[in-house]
Structure 1
């Protein structure tokens, strides 16, 4: 039903305009090449048709490029090359963000590829750009009923990460304590380095009922440096349910995480979580989440305790090219030693904008944290303000095999009354991400 609805509403919109040329000779040439490509596909020669569409997609005229990319995307989809088709539609939208039918075609493909979140985002962007009333109604119905059909999926991310403070440590050589000044070893102080970040996940979706699916998931991430004592690796396994309740989506899950630091076990966490997704009109979405985790630290049992976290996020499409979100969160960490127990809360803003074949985003976050009591060695109770800034971009013009380079710059300042937690950090991420 989901795919049928999207096909119907996509066909209710016009395709990109047929090419209109200012030079009669070039118009005939383009029209003839389109006709030859269609004839080649009809004769069972899709590779020849693909070659001609790709040639037309480099035409100086924007209308010819749009028509060629649209037809190429449909051809690639019929050939079973859905990821390439999605990349082709994205290239078309980079030049023509208001091409609603193309955006709906991309949303349908993303659904088939198992990326429900991205499909919903494309629908919101299409609605923000304006749709005919009958099509807008169909889109709204589809958005309410959207469910990913892909039985399994996987992802992999690889990046180079230069970081001025890989261990998020203070740059002070000594710290004031209630006994005497404490001399810090070099490893306990701020360390810079260039690391490699590798992350990925694998999931399956097992239908249980019409509106219910079982979703097991495993994931992992690691930051690796030439000095192995700063390597930070974590692995998680979760099993959850996806339950559709009308226009809403409910996802409870349970699982665990193991973290290693410097090659040694650092912490083990048992987690239960639930999140709720609720659409707000055609352009916005509200997501709330709650997590409770029992955390055990290998090196310091005084830190053992419960971690409770709650968050609410509001995401909105401003136009066919821009959007943003606001997230509010609260955290409570208990511990065997009250000095390690903390309570905190914060807010973060995200905004993004497409400029042709480049997507630029910016983030800003502010967080407050306070400890229940002072740690034995330090004269003051822990109180902190954390400010973070981020700026990044995805450059789809340079894509390779459906992946595009992404560059992100981050700055973080954690101002704390306890010197060991007081630090400044600057980092860059240079990696690859999907081009659609």
Structure 2
């Protein structure tokens, strides 16, 4: 994997390598006490092909000078050039947390990540570096590197798990009673909102196998679950989503048609399952915009309530904008259609979301998001006097620190708020949740 990663990152070497021409060895003694001068001489030695000698020169600096950012950066670049990217990557990762807006550091960090086989992180870092409007030659080289990374990437995935205090573990209304067939009915305890602490797990694993220079086969397995072992009722919720298809390389993106299968369990029993098709298109729109269109359609069959059986389809459009090397704005809109045997449960749902993610000094990453939507039922549900019409609102905050690691996992805090105001009181919902997670992307 390292050899493939080094080839994917090699296109950046000539452009982002050390600077200046080779200097005569006699100059080393004259500038040895000047750390900035030593960095310059090391750069000249490296350009002359004497990379090992240049690294030895930097290693000879006293500990105080060795902690300088320019010295650490120059040393990391030399380590990459010597094929020791695994040693360079943590140095550059630390420098990124200290200077999140430094484009050159992000470019070299991306090169180190690619050389160590962490293609997903390398791609994200290089895209962020493009946001600071680098010269055209740099943009062209990064484009070549990104295509090389995508071509070499085989295995990918992510993992997150932790605890989740939740104000509404059963996603129920807070009302004490509802009107059914025109008469008031008191809801029992299990049908009303309950709070508790759960365990959350989410994971993705995938494999990409090239079939030709522009076509690859891709298989993905996504899963998430929320478990409440301390609750006095079983409201565990688990979803598994399997996707397989072809990834077609485009000049500025990729197109992925696929087949899908989904299985959901709730309360320890099967809840629904269905197969379908999907299509995803990713395209780069200039240096700082990246767009995605995701279309899904599947037939869902419910284990217990057959009146809900039917097709569920959706189309999502998302645009990500790099406001700078350390700031990403994401805007998305989704239109969903749910069909059902009982037309009272068929509906249209339109939603919109906006998110902002920022990297800060010290390794901190913050995220803020807000969204809303409108659901309209096709017909009236028999037990209720009106069609279902919902207004939906949500907001979220997240906080993580890339400099903190627990067994290779990054601690992450996510706070979310969800609210549904429905024309049918039974479907009113309010939920506050805190996810305390350990996460990793690979």
* TM-score, normalisation: structure 1: 0.84
Q: Pick closer, same or farther for the CA change 1:88–1:415 going to 2, 3 Å.
A: farther
CA deviations on 1:395-427 (whole Å, 9 max, x unpaired) are: 123223443211111111111011111011101
Task: Determine if contact 1:124/1:284 at 8 Å carries over to the other structure.
Answer: no
Q: Take 2:250 and 2:111, find their aligned partners in 1: how far apart are those partners?
A: 21
Counterpart of 1:220 in structure 2 is 223
CA deviations on 1:86-136 (whole Å, 9 max, x unpaired) are: 444222112223443432233345556776664443223212223233222
Counterpart of 2:28 in structure 1 is none
> Pairwise mapping of residues 31-430 of structure 1 onto structure 2 (< 5 A)?
59=67, 61-67=68-74, 74=80, 78=83, 81=86, 86-111=89-114, 118-143=121-146, 147-226=150-229, 227=231, 229-356=234-361, 357-430=363-436
Q: Pick closer, same or farther for the CA change 1:435–1:305 going to 2, 3 Å.
A: closer
Q: Pick closer, same or farther for the CA change 1:132–1:98 going to 2, 3 Å.
A: farther
Q: Pick closer, same or farther for the CA change 1:311–1:338 going to 2, 3 Å.
A: same
Task: Determine if contact 2:8/2:115 at 8 Å carries over to the other structure.
Answer: no
Aligned-residue RMSD, C-alpha: 3.5
Q: Secondary structure at the match of 1:379?
A: coil
Q: Pick closer, same or farther for the CA change 1:16–1:393 going to 2, 3 Å.
A: farther
Task: Determine if contact 1:383/1:418 at 8 Å carries over to the other structure.
Answer: yes
Q: Pick closer, same or farther for the CA change 1:294–1:370 going to 2, 3 Å.
A: same
Task: Determine if contact 1:16/1:99 at 8 Å carries over to the other structure.
Answer: no
Task: Determine if contact 1:111/1:148 at 8 Å carries over to the other structure.
Answer: no
- Mean Cα displacement is larger for which, 100-109 or 126-135? 100-109
CA deviations on 1:17-41 (whole Å, 9 max, x unpaired) are: 9xxxxxx99867x979x99xx9xx9
Q: Take 2:358 and 2:202, find their aligned partners in 1: how far apart are those partners?
A: 26
Task: Determine if contact 1:279/1:286 at 8 Å carries over to the other structure.
Answer: yes
Q: Pick closer, same or farther for the CA change 1:124–1:98 going to 2, 3 Å.
A: same
- Mean Cα displacement is larger for which, 136-145 or 425-434? 136-145
* TM-score, normalisation: structure 2: 0.83
Q: Secondary structure at the match of 2:264?
A: strand
Task: Determine if contact 1:332/1:344 at 8 Å carries over to the other structure.
Answer: yes
Cα deviation for residue 52 of structure 1 reads: 9.7
Query: How many residues are paired up?
Result: 416
CA deviations on 1:199-222 (whole Å, 9 max, x unpaired) are: 223222222111111112223221
- Mean Cα displacement is larger for which, 259-268 or 176-185? 176-185
Cα deviation for residue 245 of structure 1 reads: 2.2
Task: Determine if contact 1:104/1:122 at 8 Å carries over to the other structure.
Answer: yes
